[in-house]
């Protein structure tokens, strides 16, 4: 049984496979020619592999940055990292995680089919992480068996539909269309960044409009500007950590300045790869998804991983990362002053979530929106994990926790519901939420039809 479940998890958590299946089914439903189906399916899968590989390149280049930062500034505490905490949890909660993930994806499709929330969540790895967290929280409270799987899958399905819906008004501002949604579990932070942009961004120019002297016009190239900024950041942090530490523990004897420069340039290379992968995926999945929308889930849209928005505002990506990281540093000192658990800024979540928040803030409020929206995101992913730790059972005493905003929000809400209403209360509440979504969609659809008839 565990072997079969393991195979299922390996299969459905791989984004390239999921996207390939979606494109294949979509084009077959449209009765496209065999050669078109093969070409589009492979190109979409390759595109997602490029995105995934480039994300790995960026994550690998950011890892030594985080270590140098901790050592150079002598800071200890909890480091939010989804991969690390899931690796710990999967040993004891692997079977529940697999079942919740599989049935949660089915719940996503059914909810999208019978409500107006038409988002199909396609980011497999974060779906696995959320399934794992839900499994941990429900299990720690004593829920077992069929109820655990049913309740967990229902919770996951609801989150997979509502998380992209929360961001969609702002995604329209980013992409200038309504064909793609955002499938990444930090939607509360992104939506807040969009709202902050609208509140503060009047007359603020976009981050993509850089007024620079002609002699500095090369800075308009996002690759150049990202490379220069990251080179400065890496070298400063490397100097703070010291040559001996870097060359002994990180670089394998390579000069610490050269090592830092190469990590910065690898980061820039990963960013270029992400842009190319996004173009490949969007060019194939959006047309193919029309088949899914027409036949299976009418008017549905694919919800894709956060790098999908990076090409729309490359400068906002950099601004968002830096602003979010600064928000994390400020929060770290504030948590220490308040006597709470210190959350050390995780460079990877601050990059991916902060960059996306920067793009959202820029889309609604220009530079001010990008800076302040991403800064607030940095505060959220620093303070909220502190509230999540108590509901994670034994994992709560580990030196890591889930990093993105939606994990903390969902975890805290589920934990509090169980605390006050018990396991049966959580199950009933989730069934009630789905029922309300269906009723709301029916009423909304009826009003829309009446308006059209007039």
Tell me the mean pLDDT in the region 172-181: 90
Rounded CA-CA distance 91/277 in Å is 33
Residue located via tokens 């429900």: 138
Average pLDDT value for residue range 5-16? 62
Give the pLDDT confidence of 200-249 residue by residue, as tens digits.
Answer: 988 888 988 866 566 655 555 667 777 887 788 889 889 988 999 999 98
Q: Which residues have a Cβ under 8 Å from the Cβ of 211 and sit 6 or more positions away?
A: none
Q: For residues 359-363, give the mean pLDDT.
A: 96
Of 428, 337, 335, 352, the C-alpha closest to 389 is: 335
pTM recorded for the entire structure: 0.79
The phi and psi torsions of 73 (rounded to 5 degrees) equal -110, 10
C-alpha span between 416 and 215 (Å, rounded): 58
pLDDT, tens digit (0-9, with 9 covering 90-100), for 398-453? 566 788 899 999 999 998 888 888 888 999 999 999 999 999 888 887 776 666 55
Interatomic CA distance for residues 175 and 163, integer angstroms: 18
Residue bearing the bigger pLDDT, 5 or 409: 409
- How many H-runs (helices) and E-runs (strands) does the chain carry? 13, 5
Residues paired with residue 78 on neighbouring β-strands, in sequence order: 343
- Specify the higher pLDDT residue, 30 or 12: 30
Contact 404, 185 (CB under 8 A): yes
**Distance, CA of 404 to CA of 183 (rounded, Å):** 13
State whether the Cα torsion 329-334-337-339 is positive or negative.
Answer: negative
Classify residue 290 by burial, with Cβ atoms within 10 Å: 0-12, 13-18, 19+.
middle
pLDDT of residue 375: 97
| Residue 347, CA distances (Å) to 60, 81, 350 in order | 11, 9, 5
Question: CA-CA distances (angstroms) from residue 21 to 25, 38, 42?
Answer: 6, 11, 10
Distance in angstroms (rounded) separating the CA atoms of residues 19 and 175: 20
- The confidence score (pLDDT) of residue 351 equals 85
Q: Give the per-residue pLDDT at 159.
A: 95
Kindly report the average pLDDT of the chain as a whole number.
84
Which pLDDT score is estimated for 421?
86
pLDDT at 328: 92
Secondary-structure breakdown of the chain: helix, strand, coil percentages, each rounded to the nearest 5: 80, 5, 15
Q: Report the percentage of the chain scoring pLDDT > 90.
A: 32
pLDDT band at 2 (very low <50, low <70, confident <90, very high): low
Residue 57 in contact with residue 269, Cβ under 8 Å? Answer: yes
Distance from C-alpha of 410 to C-alpha of 431, rounded to nearest angstrom: 16
Domain regions of the chain by residue span: 4-449
Distance between CA atoms of residues 374 and 379, nearest Å: 9
The crossing angle, in degrees rounded to 10, of helices 124-140 and 2-12 is: 140
**Residue 57: what pLDDT?**
81
User: pLDDT value at position 155?
Assistant: 95
Least confident of 130-144, 225-239, 356-370: 225-239
309 vs 301: CA distance, rounded Å: 15
Enumerate residues 6+ apart whose C-beta is below 8 A from 122.
15, 18, 19, 22, 183, 302, 303, 304, 305
Overall average pLDDT of the 157-178 stretch? 93
Distance of alpha carbon 383 from the chain centroid: 18
């Amino acid at each position: 049984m565990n072997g079969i479940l393991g195979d299922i998890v390996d299969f459905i958590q791989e984004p390239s496979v999921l996207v390939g299946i979606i494109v294949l089914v979509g084009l077959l439903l449209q009765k496209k020619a065999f050669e078109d189906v093969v070409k589009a399916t492979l190109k979409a899968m390759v595109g997602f592999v490029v995105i995934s590989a480039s994300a790995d390149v960026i994550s690998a280049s950011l890892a030594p940055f985080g270590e140098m930062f901790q050592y150079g500034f002598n800071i200890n505490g909890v480091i939010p990292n989804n991969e690390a905490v899931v690796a710990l949890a999967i040993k004891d909660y692997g079977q529940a995680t697999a079942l919740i993930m599989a049935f949660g994806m089915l719940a996503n499709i059914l909810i999208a089919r019978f409500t107006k929330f038409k988002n199909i969540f396609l980011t497999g790895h974060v779906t696995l992480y959320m399934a794992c967290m839900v499994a941990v929280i429900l299990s720690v409270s004593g829920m077992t068996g069929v109820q655990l799987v049913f309740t967990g899958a229902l919770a996951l399905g609801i989150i997979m539909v509502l998380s992209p819906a929360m961001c969609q008004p702002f995604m329209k501002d980013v992409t200038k269309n309504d064909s793609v949604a955002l499938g990444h579990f930090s939607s509360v932070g992104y939506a807040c960044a969009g709202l902050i942009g609208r509140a503060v961004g009047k007359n603020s120019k976009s981050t993509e409009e850089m007024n620079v002297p002609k002699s500095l016009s090369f800075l308009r190239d996002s690759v150049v500007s990202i490379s220069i900024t990251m080179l400065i950041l890496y070298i400063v942090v490397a100097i703070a950590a010291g040559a001996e530490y870097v060359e002994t523990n990180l670089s394998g004897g390579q000069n610490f300045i050269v090592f830092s420069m190469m990590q910065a340039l690898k980061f820039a290379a990963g960013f270029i790869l992400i842009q190319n992968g996004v173009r490949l995926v969007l060019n194939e999945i959006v047309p193919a998804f029309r088949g899914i929308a027409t036949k299976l889930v009418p008017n549905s849209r694919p919800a894709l991983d956060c790098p999908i928005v990076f090409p729309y505002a490359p400068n906002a990506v950099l601004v968002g990362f830096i602003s979010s990281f600064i928000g994390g540093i400020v929060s770290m000192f504030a948590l220490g002053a308040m006597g709470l658990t210190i959350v050390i800024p995780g460079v990877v979540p601050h990059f991916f979530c902060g960059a996306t928040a920067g793009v959202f803030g820029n889309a609604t409020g220009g530079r001010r929106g990008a800076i302040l929206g991403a800064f607030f995101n940095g505060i959220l992913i620093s303070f909220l994990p502190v509230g999540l730790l108590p509901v994670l059972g034994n994992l709560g005493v580990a030196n890591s926790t889930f990093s993105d905003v939606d994990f903390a929000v969902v975890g805290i809400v589920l934990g509090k519901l169980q605390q006050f209403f018990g396991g049966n209360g959580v199950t009933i509440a989730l069934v009630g939420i789905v029922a309300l979504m269906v009723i709301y969609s029916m009423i909304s659809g009826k009003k829309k039809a009446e308006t059209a008839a007039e």
